[in-house]
Amino acid sequence: MKKHGLLKKAKRHPNSLTREDAAAQKSENLIQRDFRSSAPNQKWLSDITEVPCSDGKLYLSAVLDCFNGEIVGFAMDDNMRKELCIQAFENACKARNARGMIFHSDRGSQFTSHAFRECLAKRDAIQSMSGTGRCYDNARMESFFATLKKEKLYKLNTERYLMVEMKSIIFRYIMVYYNRQRIYTSNPGGWPPVIYRERMLSKAAQAMGFLHECVFELDFS
């Protein structure tokens, strides 16, 4: 078969967790490596990483808000099927009561699947995707995974732990330490993501209250 040209050479892909679905509808790169955001829930980033455990590989899909670097939702499972990413997105939307954001990811089959795009549509989310093989197009999301591994996972030798144990460790790192305690240099004053968001929302509420008071005084003047 090789002699007569009947074998087709398989196309090689970059070393990554996900593969592009060539048949799926492609979305433009709306982020263009601009990871700044002036308000919560405008730009969300997402990706998948794997964690080796004693009883197999644990996969983590997380969603990051560009406004303050907060992990607004995530999901973990022993597989990296589309349902993992759908669950992470749904968890984020429910936690923040959010819709209409730009949602940026790579072009893995999980994100290009009809089921995932349908899930985005229900939340009026606009899909954005990195160029094929361009990891820097989602650099801020990759940076979070690098931080998680450097500060926590690499110090543990995760292959000694069961998946259920690693799920608990990752949950506590994200929800207790990373979001609420860890200094985040990209935020003014280095405030942790949740603290910075709460402070900004509080200032906005105070400013709105002051504006209402001024309007009220003008009405009776």
Q: What pLDDT sits at residue 19?
A: 52
Q: What pLDDT sits at residue 203?
A: 85
The answer to whether residue 9 is domain-embedded is no
Q: Which of 152, 212, 209, 155 is nearest to 178 (CA)?
A: 152
DSSP string for residues in 10-66: PPP--S-S--B-TTSPP---SSTT----SSTTSEEEEEEEEEEETTEEEEEEEEEET
Question: Given pLDDT bands bounded at 50, 70 and 90, which one contains residue 206?
Answer: confident
**Least-confidence region, from 59-68, 75-84, 125-134:** 125-134
The answer to whether residue 207 is domain-embedded is yes
Tell me what percent of the residues of the chain surpass a pLDDT of 70: 81
> pLDDT tens for residues 149-170?
999 999 999 999 999 999 999 9
Question: Given pLDDT bands bounded at 50, 70 and 90, which one contains residue 30?
Answer: very high
Neighbours of 153 (CB within 10 A): 20
d(CA 74, CA 64): 9
Tell me: pLDDT of 60 over 50.
yes
The structure's pTM equals: 0.83
**Residue 60 domain boundaries:** 43-219
Mean pLDDT of 179-190: 96
Q: What pLDDT sits at residue 149?
A: 97
What is the number of domains present in the chain?
A: 1
Q: What pLDDT sits at residue 26?
A: 61
For the chain, the distance separating the N- and C-terminal CA atoms, rounded to the nearest angstrom, is 93
Count of H-run helices and E-run strands, the chain = 6, 5
Question: Given pLDDT bands bounded at 50, 70 and 90, which one contains residue 27?
Answer: confident
**Contact at 8 Å (CB) between 58 and 143?**
no
38: left (phi over 0), alpha (psi -120 to 50) or beta: alpha
The answer to whether residue 22 is domain-embedded is no
More confident residue, 175 or 219: 175
Tell me: pLDDT of 12 over 50.
no
Hey, what are 117's tokens?
């795009």
DSSP string for residues in 118-162: HHHHHTTPEEEEPPTT-GGGGHHHHHHHHHHHHHTGGGTTGGGS-
Mean pLDDT over the full length of the chain = 88
CATH code (residue 189): 3.30.420.10
Mean pLDDT of 16-40: 75
Distances (CA, A) of 56 to 13, 49, 79: 24, 14, 10
The answer to whether residue 116 is domain-embedded is yes
d(CA 207, CA 199): 12
The answer to whether residue 34 is domain-embedded is no
The answer to whether residue 11 is domain-embedded is no
Tell me: pLDDT of 214 over 60.
no
